[in-house]
C-alpha cells in the first residue's frame, strides 16, 4: 500500500490550487450580487481555459485533459474549496455525452463544449419526478421527422448558460426512458423561472418548459430505452466529484476555524485552549481525514476497474459520508467563529450554506442509503467494507 501523492499528482494539485486562488477573487462579487457580471464571466472563461483543466474527463485526443479518476479527485478536492459554486466555471461535459455520443454528436456538441464554446445542462428533474425518475411526465412522441418533446424540467443547473440540454423523456406508447440532446434555441423551449436558492451560485438553476419541441432522430443519445442507464452513468461521475468537493470544502472551513481559534482570546485564554472548542476541532479533523482517505481509495478502485454495481454503491457511500461530514464541519466552523461565523463575508458561512445541497442533489442521502442497503442484500457486505484481496487472505 502506498498513501502518498506521486510527483505528478503533487503538480496537478498545485496547478489546481493556483486556479482556485484566481477564482476565489470572484467569491465576494458572487455573494454580493447573487451571481457574476458578464465581464467577470468573460475573465473567468479565459482563466479557466489557460488553466488546462476544462473537460478533465474527456480524452486528450478530443482536446480534453484526459485525467483518470484519482487525478480528477485530487483536482476536484481543490475545487471544493471554492464557495458560491465557482467550481462550476471549470466546465466538463456530462459523462453520458462523453461515452455515448455518435461521431456527428461529438462534432456538434462535445468538441465545442471541450473548447468552451457550447455548454450542456442536465434536464432530468420535474415537478412530480425527483428521486423517482420513473414518474417523469415529459414525453418524446415519434413523428415522421424524429420526435416531438413536451414537458417541464426543474432545477436545471447551468440552464442560464446552456445552449443544449441532456433531457430525459419517455417515448410512448411504452414509456421507454430515453435521453435526448436538445438545442436551447429550438422553438418551444422556454425558461419559466429562475428561483433563488440557499446558496448564491455563480450560475443559475432555472426551470424550463418544452412545448412541442421538434428534434430529429439523431437527437437520441445512446439508444432508445437507455435513458435511465445514461442518467445513472452521469450520477456515478457527479457523486464521486461531489464527495471530493465536500472534502475540500470541509478542509477550507476547518482551516479558517483553526486560524481563528488560535488567535481569538476569550475567557482568559485563546479559544483553541477551551476544551469544548477542542472537541469540535478534533471531530472535524477526523471527519476530513477519514473521508479524504475513502474518496481517494474509491477513485483508485474505479481506475483499476471492478464490479460496476458494487462501485456504484461505494460511490453512494462516499457521497453520503463526505457530504454529511462537510455539513458537520461547516456547522462547527461557524460555531467556533461565533457571531463572525454568521457573516456572509466569512467563507465558512458560505460553505455552511453551499454544502447543504450536496445531500440533496444528484440523489439524496436517503436514496444513497437505499442503494447501499440494496447492495448489501444482493451481493453482500464484503465488496463494500473490505479491501480487494481480503477474500484471498481469509482462505
Q: Which three cell numbers stand for residue 389?
A: 484481496
Count CA within 13 A, CB hemisphere, residue 209: 6
Give the CA-trace dihedral at 218, 221, 227, 233, to 10 degrees.
180
Peptide bond into 161 cis (omega under 30): no
Q: How far is the CB of 158 from ligand FAD (least distance, A)?
A: 7
| Residue 228 found at the interface with ligand FAD (CB under 6 A) | no
DSSP sequence for 142-198 = EETTEEEEEEEE---TTTTT-SEEEEEEEETTTTEEEEEEEETTSTTEEEEE----S
Q: Which three cell numbers stand for residue 23?
A: 477564482
C-alpha–C-alpha distance, residues 227 and 104, integer Å: 19
DSSP sequence for 133-157 = GGG---EEEEETTEEEEEEEE---T
Q: How far is the CB of 386 from ligand FAD (least distance, A)?
A: 27
| Residue 350 found at the interface with ligand FAD (CB under 6 A) | no
Closest-CB residue for ligand FAD? 130
Q: How far is the CB of 199 from ligand FAD (least distance, A)?
A: 7
| Residue 353 found at the interface with ligand FAD (CB under 6 A) | no
Contact between 156 and 124 under an 8 Å Cβ cutoff? The reply is no
* Stretch touching ligand FAD by CB under 6 A, among 1-9, 18-26, 103-111, 360-368: 360-368
* Stretch touching ligand FAD by CB under 6 A, among 4-12, 105-113, 276-284, 362-370: 362-370
Instruction: Tell which one of 364, 372, 379, 384 touches ligand FAD (CB under 6 A).
Output: 364
Instruction: Tell which one of 137, 160, 361, 379 touches ligand FAD (CB under 6 A).
Output: 361
* Stretch touching ligand FAD by CB under 6 A, among 241-249, 271-279, 296-304, 357-365: 357-365
| Residue 176 found at the interface with ligand FAD (CB under 6 A) | no
Q: Which three cell numbers stand for residue 230?
A: 445514461
| Residue 130 found at the interface with ligand FAD (CB under 6 A) | yes
- What are the percentages of helix, strand and coil residues in the chain, rounded to 5? 55, 15, 30
Instruction: Tell which one of 92, 100, 122, 319 touches ligand FAD (CB under 6 A).
Output: 122
Closer CB to ligand FAD, 92 or 332, in the complex = 92
| Residue 360 found at the interface with ligand FAD (CB under 6 A) | yes
Contact between 246 and 238 under an 8 Å Cβ cutoff? The reply is no
Closer CB to ligand FAD, 327 or 383, in the complex = 327
Instruction: Tell which one of 124, 249, 313, 318 touches ligand FAD (CB under 6 A).
Output: 124
- Which residues would be at the binding site for ligand FAD (CB under 6 A)? 121-125, 130-131, 155-157, 197, 205, 357, 360-364, 366-367, 370
Amino acid at each position: 500500500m502506498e498513501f502518498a501523492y506521486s510527483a505528478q499528482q503533487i503538480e496537478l494539485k498545485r496547478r489546481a490550487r493556483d486556479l482556485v486562488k484566481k477564482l476565489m477573487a470572484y467569491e465576494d462579487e458572487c455573494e454580493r450580487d447573487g451571481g457574476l457580471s458578464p465581464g467577470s464571466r468573460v475573465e473567468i472563461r479565459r482563466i479557466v481555459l489557460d488553466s488546462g483543466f476544462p473537460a478533465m474527463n474527456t480524452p486528450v485526443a478530443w482536446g480534453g485533459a484526459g485525467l483518470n479518476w484519482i487525478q480528477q479527485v485530487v483536482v476536484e478536492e481543490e475545487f471544493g474549496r471554492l464557495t458560491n459554486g465557482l467550481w462550476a466555471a471549470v466546465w466538463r461535459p456530462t459523462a453520458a455525452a462523453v461515452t455515448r455520443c455518435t461521431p456527428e454528436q461529438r462534432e456538434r456538441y462535445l468538441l465545442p463544449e471541450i473548447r468552451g464554446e457550447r455548454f450542456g445542462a442536465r434536464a432530468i428533474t420535474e415537478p412530480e419526478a425527483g428521486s423517482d425518475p420513473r414518474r417523469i411526465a415529459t414525453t418524446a412522441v415519434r413523428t415522421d421527422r424524429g420526435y416531438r418533446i413536451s414537458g417541464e424540467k426543474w432545477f436545471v443547473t447551468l440552464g442560464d448558460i446552456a445552449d443544449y440540454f441532456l433531457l430525459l423523456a419517455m417515448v410512448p406508447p411504452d414509456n421507454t426512458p430515453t435521453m435526448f440532446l436538445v438545442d436551447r434555441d429550438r422553438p418551444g423551449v422556454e425558461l419559466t423561472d429562475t428561483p433563488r436558492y440557499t446558496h448564491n451560485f455563480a450560475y443559475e438553476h432555472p426551470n424550463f418548459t418544452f412545448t412541442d419541441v421538434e428534434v430529429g432522430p439523431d437527437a437520441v443519445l445512446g439508444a432508445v430505452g437507455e435513458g435511465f442507464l445514461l442518467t445513472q452513468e452521469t450520477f456515478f461521475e457527479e457523486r464521486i466529484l461531489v464527495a471530493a468537493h465536500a472534502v475540500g470544502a470541509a478542509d477550507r472551513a476547518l482551516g479558517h476555524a483553526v486560524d481563528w481559534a488560535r488567535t481569538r482570546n476569550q475567557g482568559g485564554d485563546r479559544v483553541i485552549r477551551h476544551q469544548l472548542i477542542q472537541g469540535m476541532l478534533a471531530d472535524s479533523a477526523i471527519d476530513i481525514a477519514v473521508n479524504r482517505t475513502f474518496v481517494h481509495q474509491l477513485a483508485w478502485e474505479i481506475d483499476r476497474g471492478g464490479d460496476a454495481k458494487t462501485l456504484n454503491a461505494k460511490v453512494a457511500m462516499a457521497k453520503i459520508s463526505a457530504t454529511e461530514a462537510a455539513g458537520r464541519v461547516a456547522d462547527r466552523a461557524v460555531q467556533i467563529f461565533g457571531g463572525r461565523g454568521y457573516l456572509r463575508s466569512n467563507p465558512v458561512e458560505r460553505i455552511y450554506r453551499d454544502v447543504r445541497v450536496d445531500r440533496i442533489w444528484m440523489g439524496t442521502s436517503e436514496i444513497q442509503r437505499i442503494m447501499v442497503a440494496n447492495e448489501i442484500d444482493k451481493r453482500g457486505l464484503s465488496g463494500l467494507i473490505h479491501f480487494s484481496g481480503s477474500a484471498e487472505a481469509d482462505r
